[in-house]
Amino acid sequence: MRVRVATALGITAVTLLALPACSTDFSDAKPASSSAARAGNPASAGQKETPLSSAALETRLLDHGDLGSGYSRKPERPAQHEDVTVLGCPALNELGGDAATGGSLDFPRQAKASFTYTGSSDSEVSEELYSDTTDKLSDGTSRIFDAMTGCPEYQVLVGSTAIDITTHKTAAPQLGDEQWSQLLTFSAGGKDSVVKQTAVRSGNVLLVVAGSPALVDRHLDKAHAKATATR
């Protein structure tokens, strides 16, 4: 299956963690098992359903003051549209190429930021915030994480570049109402890069932190506290 996605210049395992693609549409996703689990969750049921605006989400992103020294924000790069073919994972074929690389989710209210850390070596960490009804956030996020971790090995062709991807479900921290976490290893051109991707839903806000595993673990709690702070 070929789909159109927008990929950053220079397809490498590092840049793949923040592919700003044409996004997977979860608007018609069937309710997942997580919906039944939420029925008995008083905290989730009590959350307001009115989604936050993208402008409101922007104020909840981590900034230099939150991260500390050694971090610089990455400017958004012009995107190129490439054909992406997913091989070896039928579930991801159904969702599209953006899902196969852990790319952006298609919730209309969103805010994003990416940072490079040069304290010891060049590493990256990105944060994405989304807002929608709790059902849409839960069902959409569960569907993409289940599909990715359900295919431990697959390959994507981005233009003429072949990238081998392995996924491994990892324990998620007990934050918010629902949590998902995985490790992705990208192999291309004889080089490997490991990316951790952790998502936490708190009511009608979804937080996704991805990048160097150490940086994700270091900043996840802080990102969640700021994303869910009462404004």
Using only C-alpha atoms, the chain has a radius of gyration, in whole angstroms, of: 17
Q: Would the pLDDT of 28 be above 80? A: no
In the numeric block, the tokens 């989730």 are attached to: 44
Hey, what are 162's tokens? 């072949």
Percent of the chain with pLDDT over 70: 70
> What are the angstrom distances between the C-alpha of 136 and each of 39, 69, 128, 171, 192?
14, 37, 16, 23, 34
The residues, ordered by sequence, that sit 6+ positions from 209 with a Cβ below 8 Å of its Cβ are 125, 126, 127, 128, 197, 198, 199, 216, 219, 220, 223
Query: Percent of the chain having pLDDT more than 90?
Result: 43
6, 27, 59, 183 from 197: Cα distances, Å: 20, 22, 22, 6
Cα angle, residue 138 at apex, residues 150 and 217 outer, rounded to 5°:
70
The token pair that represents 88 in the structure block = 């070896």
- What is the structure's pLDDT at 135? 94
Q: Which of 22-26, 84-88, 143-147, 219-223 has the lowest mean pLDDT?
A: 22-26
For residues 22 and 95, the model is more confident at 95
Q: What's residue 3's pLDDT?
A: 32
More confident residue, 207 or 84: 207
CB 41 within 8 A of CB 34: no
Query: pLDDT band for position 213 (50/70/90)?
Result: very high
- Which pairing describes strands 161-169 and 123-131: parallel, antiparallel, or unpaired? unpaired
Q: What pLDDT is stored for residue 16 in this prediction?
A: 44
> Can you give the CATH number for the domain in which 157 is found?
3.40.1000.70
Average pLDDT, the chain: 76
In the chain, how many H helices and how many E strands?
8, 10
pLDDT category of residue 120 using cuts at 50, 70 and 90: low
Contacts of 210 (CB under 8 A, 6+ apart): 17, 18, 102, 125, 126, 128, 195, 196, 197, 198, 216
Distance of CA 200 to the CA centre of its chain: 10
**Number of domains, the chain:** 1
- Is the full-model pTM beyond 0.95? no
Cα gap 173→181, rounded to integer Å: 9
Q: How far apart are CA 155 and CA 163, in angstroms?
A: 6
Beta pairing, strands 161-169 & 80-87: unpaired
Is there a contact between 177 and 44 (Cβ–Cβ < 8 Å)?
yes
Q: Which residue has the higher pLDDT, 4 or 142?
A: 142
Write out the residue range of the structural domain in which residue 16 sits.
Answer: 2-227
